[in-house]
Structure 1
């Protein structure tokens, strides 16, 4: 079957329909009509061993090796981080997060391909900085990165900080051809992390009225769609941010995910937000987007290989 319409009105496309939709998304990305929304799962497509965690659960595990959290919260990154902040102080949590993400995560081919496109906006929802590195590697001088910052160490109405690719902090509101928006922060250049529950208290209070979201993001999403790659939505925090960032966007909205592994909450979220699921191994989809690899390589990726 090529297309599945679930009882919750979730659209899932497979086989030739999935390939055709990917081809259309490739054209839309090249035309700056779709915004890539990148998640930690992209790192799993690397051909090399990735030196940083590839999921919130992996971050929770890394933090637990430094100080064990209570068993009932041990797999929840945000709760483990909050436990450490309360038990060991914010400075300790900050230092440990910086250690965990210290090793540079090399951009994959998809990062490099996106870096060369004339995109107005890229969303990077993970801390590793690989998309930033790809933009720098491409020699881009027309990019600014806006990162979410914790309010714990700030005074005044500060939600984000802005940087260029040379790691200099810029004035708020600075814009460029491409805006890289990292709503949860990033390891580089200043190790900004929204990770503990306390980091999100005011953000979640205000996010329904869009206050923490930069004006340039609101402007550039209006007449564009969203393309989620490497993302999961199995936690309320992840769903809330994605929902608010794509709010009032025009569409279409698509994601590459394994339909068989979707949770009930993920299915509901995707259906409610009209996000079409491209049911295809992420490595195969990435190779098709960038035009890399042969059919044989795609088959190997489908059965557990990487690209």
Structure 2
């Protein structure tokens, strides 16, 4: 990465023209302080944690939504929700270096497909909007909930105040309530409505026009995450942005070229100036 590009990315994150899009890799250095165990964030680690520390059958290890669907069919949807609440809402974790770094920049709009609360913790000192993805709910076609953080608690809201920070957690969060997109059925419902325009608030559809995106901690070799991302960044500038992938596959190269993302073949934590334990 050239010094000029680095300066461009940092300036864009600060002025809001570049939107951070956070994936599981941003939590690579997060540990349970009591046990030293890494936080389950990517597909494999989530599946193993959900299954009591053991891998599932190879066909279920393909992707977390498939494994979550299997658990849901056997033991009910609440089993998956309780696991995610326990993992992200009831367990203490160390802070991610990326989140501390991003807090110093304080972007106006952030998309975080992880289900932890560290992004929300970073903005706890300031009023902000929180958008949370939901699925398989009756009575409405919309697949999101909006909350306003007043500095003390989250309050349900009908509108987004675009003058204050906006945190978009499409895959859910335990705070203020444990709501998640997790199983295959959740993703099918959410993506169907996302493609129809019902999973993104109208204020965001307007705000996102002409933005560029910096994908951090993301791999683009899974169709599910690619479909969500492609619709989340709809109406982006050209080119659409950049993605950190140190060793991209041919499939990722083709996809990024198609969608207008430049691959940055460098380490994310080197970019932010943080070292992580092996």
CA RMSD, 1 decimal: 2.4
2:268 to 282, 298, 301: 282
| Aligned twin of 2:22 | 38
CA deviation map 1:141-193 (0-9, x unaligned): 2x1110001225x4333411122344423222232411100111112221111
| Aligned twin of 1:7 | none
Match runs of 1:118-197 below 5 Å: 119-136=107-124, 139-141=125-127, 143-152=128-137, 154-165=138-149, 166-176=152-162, 177-197=164-184
1:269, distance to aligned residue in structure 2 (A): 1.7
1:208, distance to aligned residue in structure 2 (A): 2.3
The verdict on how the C-alpha distance between 1:50 and 1:234 changes in structure 2, with shifts beyond 3 A counting, is farther
More helix by share: 1
2: CA distance, partners of 1:244 / 1:112 = 28
SS in 1 for 2:59: helix
The verdict on how the C-alpha distance between 1:242 and 1:284 changes in structure 2, with shifts beyond 3 A counting, is same
After TM superposition, what 4+ stretches of structure 1 lie above 6 angstroms from structure 2? Answer: none
2: CA distance, partners of 1:202 / 1:212 = 10
TM-score by length of 2: 0.87
1:268 to 248, 254, 271: 254
2: CA distance, partners of 1:229 / 1:68 = 27
For structure 1, the residue ranges without an aligned partner over 5 or more in a row are 1-13, 288-292, 294-300
Question: Structure 1 residues 33-42 or 99-108, which shifts more?
Answer: 99-108
Q: With CA pairs under 8 Å and 6+ residues apart, which has the higher RCO, 1 or 2?
A: 1
| Aligned twin of 1:239 | 226
User: Quick check: 1:52–1:103 contact (8 Å CA) kept in 2?
Assistant: no
SS in 2 for 1:71: coil
User: Quick check: 2:134–2:190 contact (8 Å CA) kept in 1?
Assistant: no
1:113, distance to aligned residue in structure 2 (A): 3.7
Larger radius of gyration: 1
| Aligned twin of 1:290 | none
